[in-house]
């Protein structure tokens, strides 16, 4: 057992210790102990299931087909359940802790979503059933489509893409098909500002387009650099400009209308990365500020548990002239009111996903939007923005904020970025700060993106004022600790079930359990 008490936080914010946190979870409370692997727990002969007696003549497996028996752990059912339950409790999760992971929108996932998504009428439907037998499922898809179109201020949605990145890829394919139909095959370049998410240039590459970076020194797209690049590359080679707005610096780009004009003057299209829609729901619509196509990350904005890489949904919405190129099938409502899947789209780019998309995630999205209602969605964005600005304002004296400056009218959108230079100059690393936050039962914010040495904090609208204050207290206590005893941070986390992981060692010399 490791000693639990060392380096108590010092200074003014001393009132809270890591263990007072409202969100402090089992894994930060528990003593640090060795959790045997499931192989170590194995006892020969133990079984979790019983099979009926063999009542036929046994036959040996032919020698040429027989593989050596795999070395599998042998345990009873209760042992297996306890093993995995313990493991799950050692994870960070939104249900257990504050999770201010910038750009990822780790908001609370209302349980009504799960209720809807597990209704047997939906879970029992088969994608190959006749349209007439799955009217309820198709209706959910159709209504989701219509709501997403309205929130976007754009013409037609496709629900097929399985994640935001997949939506980017699909929309770029649609845009390229549109230009090809006009004979403009030379439009192969896609611009994106320097603070773009890594998936933006990656999606370009997947589509065979060339990604070009536009400067964004103050957090906003540099319009002169944008014009210069368009001139230099030739306006008629530009396919699209991909922008996230509000962007990853946590700023809403008020010049977006001008950006749209510059792009449209070049004959190119404006693509909105909708990952940050949580800040603008019902306040402004991408279609109204000039976007021609966009994706949603419904698992972010419209709440689906999405830690660990899935599942998600990345529906896209486009302007009318792009609609003929959307993937098939499209869910439609016929004149008689019935819902159907329409494959009759001769210009479609085809399918981008088996069947119709991530229906279970779309169903959660439908439920969330319907539960909030139009006013509720606006309220979501107002609270998300208020929470981020509250945190930024309370922390800015100790944690420098390159883009947040209320005196210049630069407020945060739903997230903010800090580059804590003064603290880092005391000899600690950004990692030290992040790891110490774990001791307070808080998931570290996004790191080193969109700029080096930054933390990107997104509280979301679902956190209580008490939790926000606890976060501020923790951040201030860490700042005090750095001022008084910077070396002590190198040992963080000290109250978690695992020590600081040797990332390089884990990468270079992995020790897989299943060996020998
Ligand atoms: C999350 C995110 C993406 C990628 O979305 P996925 O759903 O994870 O594929 C793209 N852009 C931004 C700004 C994001 O935050």
SS (H, E, C) 171-224: HHHHHHHHHHHCCCCCCCEEEEECCCCCHHHHHHHHCCCEEEEECCCCCCCCHH
CA of 139 to the centre of ligand 1 (A): 27
Nearest CA to ligand 1 atom 2: 275
Q: 318: number of CA atoms within 13 Å, CB side?
A: 21
Does residue 152 share a domain with residue 19? no
Q: Which atom of ligand 1 approaches the CA of 314 most closely?
A: 7
Same domain for 229 and 150, yes or no, is: yes
Ligand 1 geometric centre to CA of 356 (Å): 21
Residue 88 shares a structural domain with residue 178: no
Pocket of ligand 1 (CB under 6 A): 103, 163-165, 197, 199, 244, 248, 273, 275, 297, 312, 314
Which phi and psi (to 5°) does residue 293 adopt?
-155, 155
User: Among the atoms of ligand 1, which is closest to the Cα of residue 199?
Assistant: 10
- Answer yes or no: is pLDDT of 340 > 70: yes
Task: Tell me the CA–centroid distance for residue 164 and ligand 1, in Å.
Answer: 5
Do 170 and 221 belong together in one domain?
yes
SS3 state at 10: coil
Using alpha carbons, select from 224, 218, 167, 223 the residue that is nearest to residue 195: 218
- List the beta strands (DSSP E) in 338-454: 339-342, 416-418, 446-447
Q: Are residues 399 and 495 in the same domain?
A: yes
What is residue 135's three-state secondary structure?
Answer: helix
pLDDT at 87: 87
pLDDT single digits (tens) 153-190 = 999 999 999 999 999 999 999 999 999 999 999 999 99
- Mutate-to-test residue for ligand 1 from 103, 169, 417, highest number of ligand atoms within 8 A of CB: 103
Nearest to 450 by CA among 220, 253, 270: 220
Q: Is residue 33 part of a domain?
A: no
Q: From residue 13, how far is each of 8, 99, 257 by CA, in Å?
A: 11, 21, 44
Distance 259 CA to ligand 1 centre (A): 22
* Residue 8: pLDDT band with limits 50, 70, 90: very low
Same domain, yes or no, for 92 and 157? no
Q: Is residue 91 part of a domain?
A: yes
What single string gives the DSSP state of each residue in 440-490? TTBPPPEES-SSTT-EEE---TTS-HHHHHHHHHHHHHHHHHHHH-GGGGG
* Confidence band of 411 (pLDDT split at 50, 70, 90): very high
User: Among 317, 342, 357, which residue terminates a domain?
Assistant: 357
User: What pLDDT shows up at residue 36?
Assistant: 86
* Residue-averaged pLDDT of the chain: 91
For residue 446, how far is its CA from the centre of ligand 1 (angstroms)?
13
Q: Rounded to the nearest whole angstrom, what is the distance from the C-alpha of residue 412 to the centroid of ligand 1? A: 19
- pLDDT tens digits for 241-289? 999 999 999 999 999 999 999 999 999 999 999 999 999 999 999 999 9
* Three-class secondary structure assignment of 56-98: CCCCCCCCCCCCCCCCCCCCCHHHHHHHHHHHHHCCCCCCCCE
DSSP bridge partners of 272: 243, 294
**Ligand 1 atom closest to Cα of 105?**
15
Number of helices (H) and strands (E), helices first, in the chain?
A: 15, 12
Closest protein CA for atom 11 of ligand 1: 197
Specify whether 342 is located in the same domain as 411: no
Question: 235: Cβ–Cβ under 8 A, 6 or more apart, which residues?
Answer: 265, 266, 267, 268
Residue 468 and residue 399 in contact, taking contact as beta carbons nearer than 8 Å = no
From the list 390, 392, 368, the residue with the least C-alpha distance to 108 is 368
Q: Residue 187's pLDDT is what?
A: 98
Q: How many domains does the chain have?
A: 2
From atom 14 of ligand 1, which residue's Cα is the shortest distance away? 275
Residue at 48 is within a domain:
no
Tell me, what DSSP letter sits at residue 384? H
Q: Is residue 12's pLDDT more than 80? A: no
- What's the pLDDT at 35? 76
Q: How far apart are CA 357 and CA 367, in angstroms?
A: 17
- CA 286/CA 289 separation, integer angstroms: 5
Chain segment 100-139, per-residue pLDDT in tens: 999 999 999 999 999 999 999 999 999 899 999 999 999 9
Residue 308 domain-assigned (yes or no): yes
3-state secondary structure of 355: coil
CATH of the domain at 469: 3.90.1150.10
Domain identity same for 332 and 420: no
What is the distance between the alpha carbons of residues 141 and 134, in angstroms, rounded to a whole number? Answer: 11
Q: How far is the CA of 240 from the centre of ligand 1 (A)?
A: 18
- At residue 5, does pLDDT exceed 60? no
Q: Are 475 and 119 in contact (CB under 8 A)?
A: no
Which among 357, 391, 426 is the end of a domain? 357
What is the domain extent for residue 187? Answer: 125-357
How many CB atoms sit inside 10 A of residue 78's CB?
A: 9
Nearest CA to ligand 1 atom 6: 164
Residue 39 resides in a domain? no
Residue 104 sits in the same domain as residue 184: no
Q: Which atom of ligand 1 is nearest to the CA of 163?
A: 7
pTM for this model (two decimals): 0.88
What's the gap in Å between 182 CA and the centre of ligand 1?
A: 30
Residue 196 phi/psi, 5-degree rounding, is -65, 150
Percent of the chain past pLDDT 70, that is, above it, reads 92
How far is the C-alpha of 216 from the C-alpha of 213, rounded, in Å? 9
What contacts 24+ positions apart, CB below 8 Å, involve 115-120?
116/363, 116/364, 116/366, 116/367, 117/360, 117/363, 117/364, 117/367
The rounded Å distance from CA 168 to ligand 1 centre is: 9
Distance CA 295, CA 311 (A): 16
Pocket test for ligand 1, best of 252, 273, 449, 456 (most atoms within 8 A of CB): 273
Q: What is the biggest distance separating any 2 CA atoms in the chain, rounded to whole angstroms? A: 85
In the numeric block, the tokens 């070049």 are attached to 266
Testing ligand 1's pocket by substitution, the residue of 275, 298, 300, 358 carrying the most ligand atoms inside 8 A of its CB is 275
Protein residue with least CA distance to atom 7, ligand 1: 164
- Ligand 1 atom at minimum distance from 244 CA: 13
506 sits in which H/E element: helix 503-508
**What is the 17 CA–ligand 1 centroid distance (Å)?**
34
Task: Give the Å distance between the CA of 163 and the centre of ligand 1.
Answer: 8
* 172 and 199 inside one domain: yes
d(CA 416, CA 456) in angstroms, rounded, equals 6
The tens digit of pLDDT for each residue in 351-373 reads 999 998 999 999 999 999 999 99
Closest-CA residue, ligand 1 atom 3, reads: 164
Q: Could you tell me which residues come within 8 angstroms of residue 421 by beta carbon, excluding any fewer than 6 positions away?
A: 400, 453
Flag the least confident range among 148-152, 415-419, 492-496, 500-504.
Answer: 500-504
CATH code: domain of residue 269? 3.40.640.10
Has residue 400 been placed in a domain? yes
Q: Which of 101, 163, 197, 295 to mutate to test the pocket of ligand 1 (most atoms within 8 A of CB)?
A: 197
pLDDT band at 88 (very low <50, low <70, confident <90, very high): confident
Is 430 part of any domain? yes
Ligand 1 centroid from CA 297, angstroms:
7
Atom from ligand 1 closest to the CA of residue 248: 13
Using DSSP, state whether 162 is helix, strand or coil.
coil
Same domain assignment for residues 343 and 390:
no
Residue 214 main-chain phi, psi, to 5 deg: -105, 140
> Do 195 and 335 lie in a common domain?
yes
Whether the pLDDT of residue 28 is over 80: the answer is no
* Residue 32 counted as domain residue: no
What is the pLDDT, as a whole number, of residue 483?
97
* Ligand 1 centroid, distance to 90 Cα (angstroms): 26
- Reported as a pLDDT band with limits 50, 70 and 90, residue 21 is very low
């Amino acid at each position: 057992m490791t000693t639990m008490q060392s380096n108590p936080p010092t200074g003014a914010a001393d009132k809270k210790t890591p263990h007072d946190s409202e969100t402090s979870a089992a894994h930060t409370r528990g003593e640090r102990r060795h959790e045997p692997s499931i192989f170590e727990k194995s006892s020969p002969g133990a079984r979790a299931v019983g099979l009926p007696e063999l009542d036929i003549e046994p036959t040996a497996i032919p020698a040429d087909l027989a593989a050596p028996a795999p070395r599998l752990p042998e345990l009873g059912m209760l042992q297996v359940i306890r093993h995995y339950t313990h493991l799950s409790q050692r994870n960070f999760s939104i249900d257990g802790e504050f999770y201010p992971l910038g750009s990822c929108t780790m908001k609370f996932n209302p349980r009504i979503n799960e209720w809807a998504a597990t209704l047997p009428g939906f879970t029992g439907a088969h994608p190959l059933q006749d349209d007439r037998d799955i009217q309820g499922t198709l209706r959910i898809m159709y209504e989701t489509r219509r709501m997403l179109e309205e929130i976007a201020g754009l013409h037609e949605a496709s629900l097929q893409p399985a994640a935001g990145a997949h939506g980017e890829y699909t929309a770029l394919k649609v845009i390229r098909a549109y230009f090809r139909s006009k004979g403009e095959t030379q439009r192969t370049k896609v611009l994106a500002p320097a603070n773009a998410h890594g998936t933006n240039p990656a999606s370009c590459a997947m589509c065979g387009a060339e990604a070009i970076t536009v400067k964004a020194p103050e957090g906003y797209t540099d319009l002169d650099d944008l014009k210069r690049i368009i001139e230099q590359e030739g306006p008629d080679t530009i396919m699209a400009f991909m922008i996230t707005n509000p962007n990853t610096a946590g700023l809403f780009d008020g010049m977006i209308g001008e950006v749209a004009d510059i792009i449209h003057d070049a004959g190119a299209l404006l693509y909105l990365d909708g990952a940050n829609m949580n800040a603008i729901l019902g306040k402004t619509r991408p279609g109204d500020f000039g976007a021609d196509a966009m994706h949603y990350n419904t698992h972010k904005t419209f709440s689906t548990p999405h830690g660990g890489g899935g599942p998600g949904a990345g529906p896209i919405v486009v302007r009318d002239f792009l609609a003929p190129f959307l993937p098939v099938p499209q869910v439609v409502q016929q004149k008689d009111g019935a819902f159907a899947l329409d494959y009759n789209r001769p210009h479609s780019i085809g399918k981008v996903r088996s069947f119709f998309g991530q229906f279970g995630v779309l169903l959660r999205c439908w439920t969330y939007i319907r539960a909030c209602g139009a006013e509720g969605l606006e309220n979501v964005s107002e609270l998300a923005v208020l929470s981020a600005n509250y945190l930024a304002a309370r922390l800015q004296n100790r944690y420098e904020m390159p883009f947040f400056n209320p005196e210049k009218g630069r407020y945060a959108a739903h997230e903010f970025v800090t580059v804590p230079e003064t603290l880092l100059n005391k000899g600690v690393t950004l990692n030290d700060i992040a790891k110490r936050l774990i001791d307070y039962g808080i998931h570290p914010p996004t790191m080193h993106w969109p700029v080096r040495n930054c933390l990107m904090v997104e509280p979301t609208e679902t956190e209580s004022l008490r939790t926000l204050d606890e976060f501020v207290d923790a951040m201030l206590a860490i700042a005090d600790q750095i001022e008084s005893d910077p070396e002590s941070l190198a040992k963080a986390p000290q109250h978690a079930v695992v020590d600081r992981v040797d990332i390089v060692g884990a990468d270079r010399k992995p020790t897989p359990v299943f060996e020998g």
